Amino acid sequence: MSLGAWELPEELRMVREVTRRFMREEVRPLEEKLDHDCYEMPREMLAPLQKQARELGLWCFRTPRDLGGGGLNLLGQAIVAEEAARCRMGAYVPACGAFGADPPNAILKGTPLQIERYALPAVQAGKRVFVAISEPSGGSDPARAIRTRAEKKGDRYFINGQKMWITGAAKADWGIVFARTGAGGERAGISCFIVDGNAKGMTTKPIPVIRSYHPYEVFFDNVEVPEENRLGEEGQGFAICEKWLVEGRIPYAAGTLGIAQGALEIAIEWAKTRETFRSKLADKQAIQWMIADSEMELRAARLLVWQAAWTADLGRDPKTDASVAKVVATETAGRVVDRAIQIMGGLGVTKALPLERWYRELRIKRIGEGPSEVQRMVLARSLLGAGSKR
Report the topology of domain 239-384: Butyryl-CoA Dehydrogenase, subunit A; domain 3 (1.20.140)
Give the pLDDT mean for 124-130.
Answer: 92
Query: What single-letter amino acid sits at 322?
Result: A
Choice among 224, 275, 369, 373 that is catalytic: 369
Q: Using an 8 Å Cβ cutoff, are 96 and 49 in contact?
A: yes
CB atoms within 10 A of CB 35: 9
Instruction: Render pLDDT for 316-360 as a digit per residue (tens, 0 to 9).
Output: 999 999 999 999 999 999 999 999 999 999 999 999 999 999 999
The pLDDT, as a whole number, for residue 241 is 78
The pLDDT, as a whole number, for residue 238 is 83
**Which of the 8 DSSP states describes residue 40?**
S
Give the pLDDT mean for 101-121.
Answer: 92
Q: How confident is the model at residue 1 (pLDDT cuts 50, 70, 90)?
A: very low
Q: String of b and e for 250-275 (b: at least 16 CB within 10 Å)? A: bbbbbbbbbbbbbbbebbbebbeeee
Question: DSSP 3-state assignment of 70?
Answer: coil
The Cα-based distances of 56 to 15, 52, 111, 226 in angstroms read: 9, 6, 30, 38
Secondary-structure class of domain 10-103 per CATH: mainly alpha
Q: Using an 8 Å Cβ cutoff, are 190 and 178 in contact?
A: yes
The pLDDT, as a whole number, for residue 3 is 47
Pairing of strands 216-226, 156-166: antiparallel
Q: Using an 8 Å Cβ cutoff, are 203 and 219 in contact?
A: yes
153 sits in which H/E element = strand 149-153
The pLDDT, as a whole number, for residue 227 is 96
Domain definitions of the chain by residue range: 10-103, 126-231, 239-384
Q: DSSP for 77-145?
A: HHHHHHHHT-STTTTTSGGGGTT--PPPGGGGGS-HHHIIIIIHHHHHS---EEEE--BTTBSS-HHHH
Q: String of b and e for 279-288 (b: at least 16 CB within 10 Å)? A: eebbeeeebe
Rounded CA-CA distance 106/130 in Å is: 12
Q: Which one, of 221, 205, 200, lies nearest residue 165 by Cα?
A: 205
Q: DSSP for 268-331?
A: HHHHHH-EETTEEGGGSHHHHHHHHHHHHHHHHHHHHHHHHHHHHHTTS--HHHHHHHHHHHHH
Rounded CA-CA distance 123/100 in Å is: 8
The pTM of this model reads 0.93
The pLDDT, as a whole number, for residue 106 is 86
Instruction: Render pLDDT for 35-76 as a digit per residue (tens, 0 to 9).
Output: 999 999 999 999 999 999 999 999 999 999 999 999 999 999
Give the pLDDT mean for 158-182.
Answer: 95
Give the pLDDT mean for 376-385.
Answer: 94
pLDDT at 390 over 60: no
Report the topology of domain 126-231: Butyryl-CoA Dehydrogenase, subunit A; domain 2 (2.40.110)
331 is catalytic: no
